[in-house]
Amino acid sequence: MAQVRPARGRRSLGLTLVVSEITVLFRRLRTWAMIGALALIPILIAVVVRVSSDGAASGRGPAFLNSITQNGLFVSLTALTVAIPLFLPLTIGVVAGDTIAGEANLGTLRYLLVAPAGRLRLLLVKYAGAALFCFVATLTVVVTGAIIGALLFPVGPVTLLSGDTVGIPGYFVRLLLLALYVTVSLMGLSAIGLFISTLTTIPVGAMAATAALAAVAQILGALPQLEWLHPWLFTNYWLGFGDLLREPIVWTSFADNALLQFGYIAVFGTLAYGRFSTKDILS
Amino acid sequence: MRSAHDERTAREGATGLAIETRGLTKVFGRQRAVDGVDLAVPRGTVFGFLGPNGSGKTTTIRMLLGLAAASSGEIRLLDGAMPKDARAVLPRVGALVEGPAIYPFLSGRANLQRFDAADRHTSPSTRNARVDAALERVGLGHAAKKRAHAYSLGMKQRLGIANALLAPRDLLILDEPTNGLDPQGTREVRNLIRSLSDDGTTIFVSSHLLAEVEQMCTMIAVMSAGRLVAQGTLDDLRSQGTARVRITTPDPADARRILSGLGLVPEPHGRDDVVTAELSVPGLQSEAVNAALVRADVRVRGLEVSGASLEDRFVALTGEGFDVAG
Ligand SMILES: Nc1ncnc2c1ncn2[C@@H]1O[C@H](COP(=O)(O)OP(=O)(O)O)[C@@H](O)[C@H]1O
Ligand SMILES: [Mg+2]
């Protein structure tokens, strides 16, 4: 009975926990409610523009809004522009803020750790889940926009910001790139949310704090007095996706954005690990 | 307060113990929730961890499992040091800590699949079979597909126990496993623990109910206000208590004189035909007391021996009433 026995079985890479995380995330009603709400944004825009299509050429309103009546493919772009400042960060705040705090609040965190999931592994898995949600959320806006745009408006080759024209397939490649750009944009915020989530056992608090930070960063980004600070704000390139709509594609903002977001991931990922690896799990 | 059994297991060294702590302490602010605890849980035992609410049982268990860091002290769990060797040790340990925890929006089965996936050492190919077997074992087979938020308290508790049984374990740590269960469920858990123990699993089970521990366990440790106040076999603990003798007689004054002569200390009693005393002289049995009384022509109408119950012992160790430590 007293012999030394190594732990059972071979250690797998542990991808099953990633699969499990994604399954749990997408089995929650809340996740689908958020995705549904995101899908409503392009639908709402398209329907409103369609119903009142005579007065739309006023030149006011979100970017690309006035192009919709000519080409339904612009619905996706308009919807993204509307969703990026407010609604997307809100949903990411909910998912990223919930990562650790939600499990702590349910008490399931102690059983994951006793399993043992491993604290670093759990953090990585949680982050992967949040990242996937960012992509799905963004894609939801883009795809729903493309569908509703095609249903309500004429579609055809698109004139890019550079004046060149691309066909419909080419345009979809750009939309996909755009979804990637926005997903990358949200990675920094997700890392911040993950860190905040390790600080509390009250998920609503972590969600609110994460979403509030996104708002604060955008307010600071709008103040010209703080110009020196702007390159460091994780929101700095959020609306800088226009470069993807040129011919040829200008990659600098994509690269700058990715570098900035990576910095945020490194800093807040390290902070999250520093906090979580030594945290007493008392819930 | 170490028994002969303890001394023996201590000599056998760390390999004979499934759980061993030295000076385990946890400080919350200014409170010592766990204070210098030296546990020694031999392998193969069903070990009761007894103590009133707030005495530090759950906090101790959290430290054993690496959920909380000890303020000071050492922990050995199976063959490793905690929390350093958690990755090697924990797959061999099943645990229920501070009650079950569930994802309310998942079914009972999906809950267990989730926890099983968290363990990198379990095989995904046998997952469904193991989950279903664990659910059957705790009597939840019929409710496996039901969402867990619809489970009753007792069903959640069973789900928590099933989670500890997802894989063959060398050690089970069960924190108040019968909480929220009806008498039927309590009996089932007792039987389950017995059968697991027969398979060679060491079981460390905490409880605030003496009767429960008494029915399941061969050894116990008693906690009171963060301190370990007794540890050993049930028999050891029983023998540490002193019995009392209660004599009903029309000659109380003579009876008191005889008891005093035997070295006992008769106590005042509300009824003047009753004399009571602790059997505090080593080796002195009640029959010897009776014989002495009869020899002195004291008329004895009744003689009762009481006490030496574990209950008295427990109360003596942990205090009585509703004063929750903390
Ligand atoms: N997270 C915490 N913060 C502060 N004090 C705590 C915390 N958890 C437990 N305690 C205190 O530690 C003591 C022991 O608690 P616990 O281990 O839960 O006791 P038991 O499981 O024996 O009922 C109690 O006095 C409790 O108030
Ligand atoms: Mg407890």
From the number of C-beta atoms within 10 Å of its C-beta (0-12, 13-18, 19+), residue B11 rates as exposed
In 3D space, the residue among B178, B190, B188 whose CA is nearest the CA of residue B153 turns out to be: B178
Pick B305 or A47 by higher pLDDT.
A47
- Tokens 């009133």 — which residue? B52
- pLDDT tens for each residue of B192-221: 999 999 999 999 999 998 888 888 999 999
DSSP-derived secondary structure letter, B322: S
**pLDDT given at position B10:** 44
How many residues would you count in chain A?
A: 283
User: For chain B, how big is the Rg over CA atoms in Å?
Assistant: 24
* Nearest CB partner across the interface for A16, out of B66, B101, B117: B117
| Pocket of ligand 1 contains residue B58 by CB under 6 Å | yes
Q: What is the position in ligand 1's atom list of the atom closest to the CA of B56?
A: 17
Cα angle A249, A250, A253; round to 5: 135
Q: What is the position in ligand 1's atom list of the atom closest to the CA of B325?
A: 25
**pLDDT given at position B304:** 85
Q: Which residues of B300-310 are buried (b: 16+ CB within 10 A; e: fewer)?
A: eeebeeeebeb
* Nearest CB partner across the interface for A17, out of B43, B98, B118: B118
Chain A residue numbers with beta carbons less than 8 Å from the beta carbon of B118 are 17, 20, 111-112, 115-117, 122
| Pocket of ligand 1 contains residue B285 by CB under 6 Å | no
In 3D space, the residue among B70, B88, B71, B91 whose CA is nearest the CA of residue B79 turns out to be: B88
> 3-state DSSP helix/strand/coil percent for chain B, to nearest 5?
40, 25, 35
**H-assigned helices in chain B:** 4-12, 57-64, 86-89, 108-118, 127-137, 153-164, 183-198, 210-216, 234-239, 252-261, 286-295, 310-318
Q: What is the CATH number of domain B242-307?
A: 3.30.70.100
| Pocket of ligand 1 contains residue A282 by CB under 6 Å | yes
Contact B74, B17 (CB under 8 A): no
Cβ under 8 Å to B: A residues 56-115: 106-115
**pLDDT given at position B277:** 85
Task: Give me the mean pLDDT over the A8-37 stretch.
Answer: 86
Q: How far apart are CA A272 and CA B250, in angstroms?
A: 79
pTM for the model stands at 0.86
Least confident of A52-66, A157-171, B216-230: A52-66
Is B11 a residue whose pLDDT tops 50?
Answer: no
**pLDDT given at position B173:** 97
| Pocket of ligand 1 contains residue B52 by CB under 6 Å | no
Residue A16, chain B, CB below 8 Å: the answer is: yes
Confidence of residue A3 (pLDDT cuts 50, 70, 90): very low
Q: How far apart are CA A16 and CA A238, in angstroms?
A: 33
- Complex confidence, ipTM: 0.89
Give the domain ranges of chain A: 15-277
Confidence of residue B305 (pLDDT cuts 50, 70, 90): confident
- pLDDT tens for each residue of A180-239: 999 999 999 999 999 999 999 999 999 999 999 999 999 999 999 999 999 999 999 999
Least confident of A174-183, B55-64, B308-317: B308-317
Contact A114, B93 (CB under 8 A): yes
Q: How far apart are CA A46 and CA B24, in angstroms?
A: 65
Q: What are B148's two structure tokens? A: 């867990």
Residue B92, chain A, CB below 8 Å: the answer is: yes
Which residue does chain B place closest to A102, by CA atoms? B103
Give the CATH number of domain B4-238; options: 3.40.50.300, 3.40.50.12160, 3.40.50.720, 1.10.357.10. Answer: 3.40.50.300
Is A137 a residue whose pLDDT tops 90?
Answer: yes
Give the domain ranges of chain B: 4-238, 242-307
Q: How far apart are CA A260 and CA A253, in angstroms?
A: 10
